[in-house]
C-alpha cells in the first residue's frame, strides 16, 4: 500500500519556474510536503509562496544539480526536514543554444549534457539511495523527458541526445528499482506554455526550414499528469507518458 498522503515528501528540481513551479503547486494542492531545488533562491521562494503550503510543508534548498556534493546536501536536507523522500520530480534542464552540429561548441555541448543528463543521474542516484534505505522502503522517480526524446527539432543535437539518454536512465532505474519498491516513469512534454517555449508564439524553425508559429498548451495540464503519476500506489506505474499541445507538429513532424 502507498504512504498516507500527509506523509508524502517530494523533491522537485528546476522548481523556480515553468514546469517545475507548476508541478510544485499541483503537488501542494494534494498536501504533499515539498523540497524545492534550483540554482537561485529568490525564484524558489516565490514558488513556495505561490504553493501556499506554509513553512512546515516546504523547504527551499538552492542547488546546482551538476554538483555531486550539492545534490547529496539537497537530499540530506530533505531527510533532515521531513524524514524521508517519496518522490523525485527530476525536472531541471536546459535547451542550450540552437546550432548546427558542426558549429556547436564543445563547451556548450558539455553544459547541456552536465545539466540534462549528469544532473538527472546525480539526483536519481541520491533519491534511489534514500528510497532504498528508508522505512517503509521505496518511492517514485519521475524524469522529465521531452518530445525530443522521440523526434528532434532542427539544430538541437545536444538537447535531443540528452533527452534520448534520459529515456535510458528511466528504463535502467525502473529495472534496478524493482527489488526496493522504487518505481520510475518519464513524462515527455510538448509545447507547454512556459518561459522556455515563449518563442513558439513568434515562430520557430520547422524540419523543412520554414519558421512557423506552434500551438501551446497550459502548463497546468502537465502538472496534473505528473500528480496522477506521483499518486499511484507503488504497485502501479506510468512508465512513459506524452503530454502535448494537440495540434503541435509531432505526429507527422518532418
Backbone φ/ψ region at 204: left (φ over 0), alpha (ψ -120 to 50), beta: beta
Q: Which helix (H) or strand (E) holds 144?
A: strand 139-144
Pairing of strands 204-205, 33-38: unpaired
Taking the CA atoms of 90, 94, 98 and 99 in sequence, report the sign of the dihedral they define: negative
Eight-state DSSP code of residue 208:
T
> In whole angstroms, what is the distance from residue 37 CA to residue 43 CA?
10
Q: Which helix (H) or strand (E) holds 79?
A: helix 68-82
> In whole angstroms, what is the distance from residue 116 CA to residue 45 CA?
23
Q: Which three cell numbers stand for residue 52?
A: 501556499
Active-site entry in 28, 122, 159, 194: 159
Q: Which three cell numbers stand for residue 253?
A: 513532424
The question of whether 159 is a catalytic residue gets the answer: yes
Q: Which helix (H) or strand (E) holds 183?
A: strand 182-190
Active-site annotation, residues: 159
Amino acid at each position: 500500500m502507498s504512504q498516507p498522503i500527509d506523509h508524502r515528501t517530494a523533491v522537485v528540481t528546476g522548481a523556480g519556474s515553468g514546469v517545475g513551479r507548476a508541478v510544485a503547486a499541483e503537488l501542494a494542492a494534494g498536501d504533499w510536503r515539498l523540497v524545492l531545488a534550483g540554482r537561485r533562491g529568490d525564484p524558489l521562494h516565490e514558488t513556495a509562496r505561490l504553493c501556499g503550503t506554509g513553512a512546515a510543508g516546504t523547504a527551499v534548498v538552492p542547488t546546482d544539480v551538476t554538483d555531486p556534493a550539492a545534490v547529496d546536501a539537497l537530499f540530506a536536507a530533505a531527510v533532515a526536514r521531513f524524514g524521508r523522500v517519496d518522490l523525485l520530480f527530476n525536472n531541471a534542464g536546459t535547451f542550450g543554444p540552437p546550432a548546427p552540429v558542426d558549429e556547436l561548441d564543445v563547451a556548450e555541448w558539455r553544459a547541456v549534457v552536465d545539466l540534462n543528463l549528469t544532473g538527472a543521474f546525480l539526483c536519481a542516484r541520491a533519491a534511489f539511495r534514500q528510497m532504498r534505505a528508508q522505512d517503509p522502503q521505496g518511492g517514485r522517480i519521475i524524469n522529465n523527458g521531452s518530445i525530443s526524446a522521440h523526434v528532434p527539432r532542427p539544430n538541437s543535437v545536444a538537447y535531443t541526445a540528452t533527452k534520448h539518454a534520459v529515456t535510458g536512465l528511466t528504463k535502467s532505474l525502473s529495472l534496478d528499482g524493482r527489488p526496493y519498491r522504487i518505481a520510475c516513469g518519464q513524462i515527455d512534454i510538448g509545447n507547454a506554455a512556459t518561459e522556455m517555449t515563449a518563442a513558439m508564439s513568434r515562430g520557430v524553425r520547422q524540419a523543412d526550414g520554414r519558421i512557423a508559429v506552434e500551438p501551446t498548451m497550459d502548463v497546468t495540464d502537465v502538472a496534473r499528469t505528473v500528480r496522477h503519476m506521483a499518486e499511484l500506489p507503488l504497485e502501479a506505474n506510468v512508465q512513459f507518458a506524452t503530454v502535448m499541445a494537440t495540434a503541435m507538429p509531432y505526429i507527422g513532424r518532418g
